[in-house]
Each structure stands twice: as structure tokens, then as C-alpha cells.
Structure 1
Amino acid sequence: MTSVLAPLAARYAWWLRLPAEQTAVPEAAEQVRAMPVVLRMEKSEPPSRTPLLEAAATAALAVCLDERSREGGEWHDAVHSWISGHIRKVARRARGAHWRAVQELPGITVDVAGAQARALLPCRVSDLPREVSRLQVSGSDLPQDEPGPPPADVPLLLLNPEVTMTVGKAAAQVGHGTMLLAALLGEAESKRWQEWGYRCAVRVATVAEWAAWRPRDPERGWLEQRVVAVRDAGFTEIAPGTITVLAHWRAAETAAHSR
């Protein structure tokens, strides 16, 4: 298990079993921490929705597992304090000079097929740098695209087909999905994923896929199906306790098929 993500793994099953009305517990405003995820959305050439979500999912995990986030690293305190509490992400959109400005802030940018997202170091929301606080959280969305079948050799994140989310909300949810997967993986699997650059595939599940893969029990879902569920606290857009994403670790299956 990756140490910086240990608190996330430790409370995974508890969180899924928590009554829905208890998931949205308010915090004092000055204590709220969040990871800003900045989505590049140029007006003249907007990205496609799916690669942008894949870039966001990879970037969020890359920050958590960067060497600087390990114990003793310059990012460790910020990442550890955030993961030890509510895992909030706030996706914002940027273009032009504003996008270039956030490249100077601590974080990691990921490009997937020309779509770019930058996950920044988590901090108290009240302490957001001006380069981030001036960016809009809402106001833009991207239409659903048709990305085709997902590659078989990377983890798959399935979005709930019955829940409508903006691209910003969906970006935050898939970012949480990659973090949960990494938190529950063993060291060898985590190392393998790192070698792939934490690549993943994002798709909207069919109703049948969602019903088949949604775990009824957190431990059995992971041990038997290698699936984890992302459950949202419901602070924005959707109802508390909603399962938004199913993240499926498929590397073991791919390795078996290739032999």
C-alpha cells in the first residue's frame, strides 16, 4: 500500500457503508482543504470530454504519488493533511494566459490526446493562490463524445450512467477513482502502474455494466472483482451518498491473457 494514501484505504469500506445523510458533514470554512484541478478549455479549440477526464484522473493521482509527496518530501505535509480529511477536489477551467499562469504553481500537468489538465498541490480553500481563485468553477461544459472501446491494458473508470455531471464534477470524481485504486493496490501493482504513467480509461457505463460491476460489499468487490466505488458527499451537483464512479483494476487480467 502506498503510505501517503493509507488513510484513504483505511476508511474506504467505512465510507461506503455510511448512511447517505451522514456523508455531507460540513466543515468550518477555514478548515476546508481541496485539490484544485485545472482543465484547459481553449475557446477556439475545446478538448474532447473523455481525454480531458482521463488527463484529470491521471494528474490527480500523479500529484499524490510524486516523490515530493513522500514522507520528508516538500509536498508531503500538504498532501497528507488533505488525504487525512475530506477528499475534496475543485475543478476550474482556464485558457490562454490563465492556463500558462497555473503552470508556475506546484502540481503536475497531464496531456491525453491533446487534452490537458493540471492537478495542483492541495491547500486550504481560503489560501488558494490568486492564479487559481480567479478561475471559474462553472459556466462551461463539454458534450458527450464517442471514444470507442477502452484499451484493455489500463484501469477502467466507469461513470454512473444515471447521474448527470458537468465535466468539472466528473473530473473530480474520476480523480478520486484513481486515488482509491492506488490506495488499495499492492506495491508491485502500484509500481507497474507508475511505469505506465498512471494511464487510465474513462467511459460512461451502460445500465447493464453498472448493475453488473457495482459492488454490494466493499471488501468483496475489491477482492473478487478488483472494483472500487467512488461515493460522493454531495456538496455540489448531486445527492449525498451517490456512487459516481466504479474503478476497475484490469492489469492482472491483461497479464493473464497475454501469457
Structure 2
Amino acid sequence: MTDPDEVDPWSLSLVARVERDPAPTHTDTLVAAARAVVLLLSDPRVTEPDGELRAAVQAWRDRRIRKICRRARGAKWDRTAGLPHAEASSGDAVVRVFAPHPRDDVPDLLRPLQVGGLDLSDPEDLAVPGPDGVLTIRLTPGVTMSTGKAAAQVGHAAQLALERLPQAGRWQESGSGVRVVVGAPVLPEHERVDVRDGGFTEVPPGTVTASAGFEGTV
């Protein structure tokens, strides 16, 4: 689905490493995706006036914010290291986030990677850390999303938290920890950010897919 009113759309590419053994879990992949987005947007290559990625990120921010999650393994994953990126891990999950680019002009190293169809699982005894010192991202109950779609949504939630919540500076200083849970928001609207999806894939437009805020002490 495309937006007829949007001219020259840009997107931010996330790539999840998905080896067969060990396979990453769903939640670890989401945590890594959220942290990787924050690491890229906080990188001096983006924040410094002469940073090599600053112009690309600004061009992307000036448009509708789009994120696309791909997956790779083996040599294809290794080759993506040749592009400027930020990387984060959680458990066996690793996610790289690359500089934004025009949606229809995907870098050669990313173009062959599969978009969609990434659907991982969690163990039944998944342990969820407490809220202190981390950003809590809550996925909306009843909104069904693949792992790839959810990774883009939590990445967007982390970006909004970084840009809009006053505790973000202290959070970054403490390591930008993230936890991801399923549940309705527990914070009032002025203490959280909500992600409303554009409706291009998997969910109807305007769906609130996630919220994020600092539920504990930062």
C-alpha cells in the first residue's frame, strides 16, 4: 500500500540477524531493534553538524517516518557490515540499523534481504526485567503483528521517547536499556509516547501499536 499524497518517501532499514541455531527470540529481537534505533539517532555521525549520516537522517525526518525490517543470516548478514550502521544485541538477537534512504532506492547490500515473514517466538518462561533504569515499551494487546512489523513499531516508540520525553537524557547516560512487554499503557498521556501506525502493512491506519515511557526510576 502507498500513500498517494507522499512524494519521494524515505525509510529507515532495520536488519535482524536470524540464524537457524541459535534462533533469536521474538522479544529479544524487539529489544535489540529499539536500542539500535536509539544508538543510530544518537551517533555523532548523525548529531554532529558535519556528521556523514546527518543529511540522510534529516531528509527522512522531514517526511513521514517509515521503518522497514529485513532479515539476514550467514554471509548476507556479514556483508551488511559494509554499510554505515548502528548495532544492538539482546540475548541471541542482533539488529543493525542503517542510514535512511529513498524507499525505492535501497542500497545494493540490503536489497536482496527478505522483507516480511519474520515471525519468531518466545519461551514460555520468558523473564521480564523490572522497569527501573529502562524504557518500557508496551505492545498493544489484541494487535497482531509479525516480529518484523513489531520491530519497526518498537523502534518508532524508542525514537519518540528519545525525542520527546524529558528523562531521555538520563536514560541514555545509563545505557539506554529497553524492556518490551504486552499490555495497555499504565502511564498518563503526558508521561508516555504512543505509536499510531500508517496502515501500510498488517494493521489498519491509525492503530495504536505501542506506547513507551519510563515506568520506574531512571
TM-score, scaled to structure 2? 0.91
1:163 maps onto 2:151 in alignment:
no
Q: 1:173 aligns with which of 142, 146, 153?
A: 153
1:246 maps onto 2:211 in alignment:
yes
Q: Tell me the percent identity.
A: 39
Shift of 1:28: 5.3
In terms of fraction of residues, the more strand-rich structure is 2
Give the superposed CA RMSD.
1.8
> Residues 41-60 of structure 1: matches in 2 within 5 Å?
41-60=18-37
Q: Which residue of 1 aligns with 2:16?
A: 39
Q: Which residue of 1 aligns with 2:54?
A: 76
> Which residue identity is paired with 1:243?
V
1:99 maps onto 2:99 in alignment:
no
* Kept in 1: contact 2:18–2:24 (CA 8 A): yes
| Alpha-carbon distance between aligned partners in 2 of 1:109 and 1:149, rounded to the nearest angstrom | 22
* Kept in 2: contact 1:150–1:203 (CA 8 A): no
Distance 1:39 1:98, change over 3 A: same
> Which residue identity is paired with 1:148?
A
Distance 1:213 1:135, change over 3 A: same
Shift of 1:27: 4.8
What SS does structure 1 have at the residue aligned with 2:141? Answer: coil
What SS does structure 1 have at the residue aligned with 2:211? Answer: strand
Q: After the TM superposition, which parts of structure 1 deviate over 4 Å for at least 4 consecutive aligned residues? A: none
Q: 2:127 aligns with which of 148, 168, 183?
A: 148
| Alpha-carbon distance between aligned partners in 2 of 1:230 and 1:145, rounded to the nearest angstrom | 26
Q: 1:89 aligns with which of 39, 58, 67?
A: 67
| Alpha-carbon distance between aligned partners in 2 of 1:118 and 1:165, rounded to the nearest angstrom | 20
| Alpha-carbon distance between aligned partners in 2 of 1:107 and 1:84, rounded to the nearest angstrom | 20
| Alpha-carbon distance between aligned partners in 2 of 1:152 and 1:113, rounded to the nearest angstrom | 18
State the number of aligned residues: 214
In terms of fraction of residues, the more helix-rich structure is 1
| Alpha-carbon distance between aligned partners in 1 of 2:4 and 2:175, rounded to the nearest angstrom | 35
> Which residue identity is paired with 1:174?
V
Structure 1 unaligned blocks of 5 or more: 1-23, 216-220
Shift of 1:234: 0.4
234-243 or 137-146, which moves further after superposition? 137-146
* Kept in 1: contact 2:187–2:213 (CA 8 A): no
| Alpha-carbon distance between aligned partners in 1 of 2:72 and 2:14, rounded to the nearest angstrom | 10
Structure 2 unaligned blocks of 5 or more: none
